[in-house]
Amino acid sequence: MAGAAITVALLRITPAQAAEHAIGMLPGTNYDPEEHLYAYVIDITKCIGCGMCVQACSRENKVPDHFFRTWVERYTVSEQGEVIVDSPNGGKDGFKPITPGFKVAKSYFVPKLCNHCANTPCTQVCPVGASYNTPEGVVLVDPKRCIGCGYCVQACPFGSRFINPVTKTAEKCTWCYHRVTKGMKPACVEACPVGARMFGDLKNERDPIRKIVTEAHLAILQPEKLTKPRCYYLGFDKEIR
């Protein structure tokens, strides 16, 4: 009896209460998180490696120098299958020609960012409940609760997180949550001059992202980790890690 009572008290909330607390509109807006489910698609075949996305991200989110919420990698593959991956300053200043020391069979750019996994290893390891998934599928960090232990930085298989050297808290791509809740796209998506980065709402019937996510041939990073990323890649290649 006592055990049951303590369990109920510890949970603090019953399913009925949870329903009562349905998030509803964010204060001062007509944005309801429950009405959205976001997805991000990256078209590798279109990316020109200009790095405007990385620059826009760092300006939009005041990302400290040498840290990246999104970055662009260049894959250079030889005829024998050797792979060189480089990302000078995360691609923020663009790329310069390289001499890889072998005959280049193919080469391409791969933009990367937080995959906003549905099955997140990073939020699971947070000891203080600072990292969480929003109803729209966005993975966020509460800087007021984060103690900067860095467990989540280690847990992320994609290297998407870092400890901000100024605030000493974990930081990551938020899909520009402060922009998408205002009806805009993430800064990286709006900065892309060739449309290689796409973002949209799967719960919006008119959003072109729905057609892409349901009909196109998409790949995800490290599917063997079973994290269920919400970032999808078009034109994926076997060398990409």
Partner 1 sequence: MKHHRHLVRAGAALIGAALLFFVVRALVMPKSFGRFGHFRGDNIAEQAAIPAVHGAPEACAECHMEVAETKVAGKHASVPCQDCHGPLALHITEAGKEQMPMHRSFTLCARCHQQLAARPAAFPQIDLMEHLDVVGAGHDALTTNEAICFDCHRPHSPSPALAPGTKTKSR
For partner 1, which is the closer residue by CB, 136 or 232?
136
Least distance between partner 1 and beta carbon 164 (Å): 15
Fill in the amino acid letter for 68. Answer: F
CA distances, 147 to each of 62, 127, 138, 173, 183 (Å): 20, 9, 21, 18, 31
- Residues 6 or more apart whose Cβ sits within 8 Å of residue 198: 40, 41, 42, 43, 189, 208, 209, 212
Q: Which is nearer to partner 1, 21 or 238 (CB)?
A: 21
Measured from the CB atom, is 23 or 216 closer to partner 1? Answer: 23
CB of 183 to partner 1, least distance (A): 8
The neighbouring-strand residues paired with 131 are 141
At residue 138, what is the residue type?
V
C-beta of 52 vs 156, nearer to partner 1: 52
For the four alpha carbons of 36, 40, 41 and 46, in that order, the dihedral sign comes to positive
Query: In 24-146, which residue ranges form alpha helices assigned H by DSSP?
Result: 52-61, 121-124
Minimum distance from CB of 230 to partner 1 (Å)? 17
Q: Closest separation between CB of residue 204 and partner 1, Å?
A: 17
Taking the least distance from each CB to partner 1, the nearer of 174 and 227 is 174
Q: Which is nearer to partner 1, 190 or 224 (CB)?
A: 190
Nearer to partner 1, 183 or 206 (CB): 183
Residues that bind partner 1 (CB under 8 A): 6, 9, 12-13, 21, 23, 26-29, 31, 33, 45-52, 55-56, 59-60, 74-76, 93-97, 104, 107-109, 129-135, 140, 142, 144-145, 174, 176-179, 181-182, 184, 187, 190-195
User: Least Å distance between CB 235 and partner 1?
Assistant: 10
Tell the smallest beta-carbon distance from residue 214 to partner 1 (Å): 25
Beta bridge partners, 208, equal: none
Contact status, residue 91 vs residue 72, Cβ threshold 8 Å? yes
Of 156, 142, 133, the C-alpha closest to 33 is 133
- 36 touches 131 (CB < 8 A): no
Cα separations (Å) of 75 from 157, 173, 232?
Answer: 19, 22, 18
Q: How far is the CB of 136 from partner 1 (least distance, A)?
A: 10
